[in-house]
Amino acid sequence: MCSSIFSIAFTGCFLDGSSSKKKNSASTVTDTFNGAKAVTSADLPVCNSSAIGQLFYVLDVKQFKYCDGTAYQEIDLTGPQGVLAKVYDSNNTELGVLLEAAEDSITLLNSFGFIYHINWGGTIESWANFNFSGIGCTGVMYNQVFGTTYKNISVWNNKLYKPKNIDSNGNAVAVTVSTSSYGYYDITQQCYNTSLPGQMYEVEETTSAAVGIPETITAPIIIK
């Protein structure tokens, strides 16, 4: 009999089909790699003093559970959250925490909950293409949706833009743009006419102060 969870994990003290260990029908509890898995918690064998140390992976809740002699206990495999590096400019002004670093730019999350991109010289860069409701890059402005619609800051004509509508989870609210024709503006600073409607979110002009970004970011950029 194993004396701890660690001995369970490393010595292979699992259900072995012996008469002292009970198990349910093969349709709900299955031996695998000297361990066992159950479809639901209700399918687990009786937990008593003769079953101490039995370990199961429960499929419906995606959790490991072991018998402590009285009841099944969950095993928490979640480790501690790591510490995110913070980014500063040369004046020691905090710019946010580092999300990603590349050869030419970095991605930051600031204390206002906005994600933005700067190059190593301290210039804020646009992260996405702009789209417009009207031909010739006019009318309502949108950003395209790529995966999760976080609160991204983008730049157009040297002005900052943020999502106009933000939900309770801090994400931009996406809408389906069904217009038959709209302008398209990308990092090449050209405007195209296209007819490819899709998922987007509306953006509006903002200021540095409103989104928690310093008015001036002085290089060099420091990560610590």
Output the pLDDT for position 152.
86
Q: Do 14 and 56 meet the contact criterion of CB atoms below 8 Å apart?
A: no
Output the pLDDT for position 190.
72
Task: Kindly tell me the sign of the dihedral angle through the C-alpha atoms of 44, 49, 54, 55.
Answer: positive
Complete DSSP assignment for 154-169:
EEETTEEEEES-B-TT
120: its two tokens: 């190593």
Burial string for 57-79 (b: 16+ CB within 10 Å, else e) reads: bbeeeeebbbbeeeebeeeeeee
So where are the chain's domains? 5-74, 86-223
Output the pLDDT for position 156.
80
Distance CA 180, CA 199 (A): 14
To 10 degrees, the CA torsion angle through 66, 48, 16, 64? -10
Output the pLDDT for position 185.
64
In terms of Cα–Cα distance, which of 149, 130, 150 is closest to 141?
Answer: 130
Which residue reads 């996406």 in tokens?
Answer: 174
Distance CA 45, CA 22 (A): 6
Output the pLDDT for position 80.
65
From first to last of its 224 residues, the chain has per-residue pLDDT tens of 444 333 333 333 333 333 333 333 344 545 443 457 788 888 899 999 988 888 888 888 888 888 899 999 887 776 666 778 999 999 999 999 999 888 888 999 999 999 999 999 999 987 667 888 877 778 888 887 766 667 888 888 788 999 999 888 888 888 887 665 566 665 566 777 776 667 888 999 999 999 999 999 999 999 98
Output the pLDDT for position 136.
75
Which residue reads 């206990």 in tokens?
Answer: 73
In terms of Cα–Cα distance, which of 52, 20, 23 is closest to 37?
Answer: 23
Output the pLDDT for position 117.
92
